[in-house]
């Protein structure tokens, strides 16, 4: 918005904003927001960015699937005794709905899924594979909380879950610096 007349004028005015000032700013915000999806779609179509999706309505998938997965990284975490009813089916819906909305907005299927709050578990990564995602992302702290032995810099390369036979069986898992 730098250089736009409305914000510059409002900054210079520095107070005592009128209803007309507020309306002009809201119009500008609406125009900018209204142009975001077309702008991102054009960038993706030109191959300049890769867009990812987050499960619809932002659920924390691992906990929706099985609250006890929290103990994969926090062994002593206090948990409720009851399981969440229909969690995996709900996760399937949130992922399918996110992909549907993404396709509608961007005209393509997302390759990556960045789960809400970076929430991943082995079961979640498997679910992402079943939904056709080739990669997922989370934070370095999630990885380090999950490793038996912390190796500095372990988050700097992609990880994959493997089958008992040693085959790669998951989307690539990327972990950003926190």
In DSSP terms, which residues pair with 136 in a beta bridge? 113, 173
> What's this model's pTM, rounded to 2 decimal places?
0.83
* Nearest Cα residue to 139 out of 128, 153, 155: 155
Q: How confident is the model at residue 81 (pLDDT cuts 50, 70, 90)?
A: confident
Cβ count within 10 A of residue 173: 19
**Helix (H) and strand (E) counts in the chain:** 6, 4
d(CA 110, CA 132): 9
- 148 Ramachandran zone, left/alpha/beta (phi>0; psi -120 to 50): alpha
pLDDT digits (tens, 9 = 90+) for 124-156: 999 999 999 999 999 999 899 888 888 899 999
**Is residue 4's pLDDT more than 90?**
no
Average of per-residue pLDDT across 87-93: 95
């Amino acid at each position: 918005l730098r250089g736009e007349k409305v914000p510059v004028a409002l900054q210079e005015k520095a107070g005592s904003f009128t209803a007309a000032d507020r309306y002009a700013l809201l119009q500008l915000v609406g125009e900018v927001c209204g142009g975001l999806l077309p702008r991102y779609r054009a960038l993706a179509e030109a191959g300049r960015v890769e867009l990812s999706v987050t499960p619809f309505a932002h659920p924390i998938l691992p906990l929706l699937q099985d609250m006890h997965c929290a103990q994969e990284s926090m062994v002593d975490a206090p948990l409720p005794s009851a399981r969440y009813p229909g969690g995996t089916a709900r996760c399937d819906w949130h992922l399918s709905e996110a992909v549907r909305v993404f396709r509608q907005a961007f005209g393509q299927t997302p390759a990556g899924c960045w789960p809400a709050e970076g929430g991943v578990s082995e079961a979640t990564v498997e679910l992402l594979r079943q939904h056709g995602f080739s990669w997922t992302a989370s934070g370095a702290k999630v990885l380090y909380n999950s490793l038996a032995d912390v190796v500095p810099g372990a988050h700097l390369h992609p990880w994959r879950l493997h089958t008992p036979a040693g085959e790669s069986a998951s989307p690539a898992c990327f972990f950003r610096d926190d």
